[in-house]
Amino acid sequence: MVEKTLSEFGRVDILVNNVGGSFASPFMKISERGWNSVLRLNLSTCFLCTQAVLKPMMEQRKGSIINISSNTGQVGTPGLAHYGAAKAGVINLTGSIASEFASFNIRANCIVSGPVATDAFGEKMMEDTKRAILSALAIKRFGTPQDIATAAIFLASDASEWVTGKAFEVDGGYRVTHSQV
So which residues are the catalytic ones?
Answer: 83
Beta-carbon neighbour count of residue 72 at 10 Å?
Answer: 22
Strands (E), the chain: 14-17, 63-70, 106-113, 167-170
Residues 132/174, Cβ–Cβ less than 8 Å: no
Q: How many C-beta atoms surround the C-beta of residue 135 within 10 A?
A: 9
DSSP 134-169: HHT-SSSS-B-HHHHHHHHHHHHSGGGTT--S-EEE
Distance of CA 46 to the CA centre of its chain: 9
In contact, 46 and 15? CB cutoff 8 Å: no
Q: What angle do CA 40, 22, 132 make, to 5 degrees?
A: 145
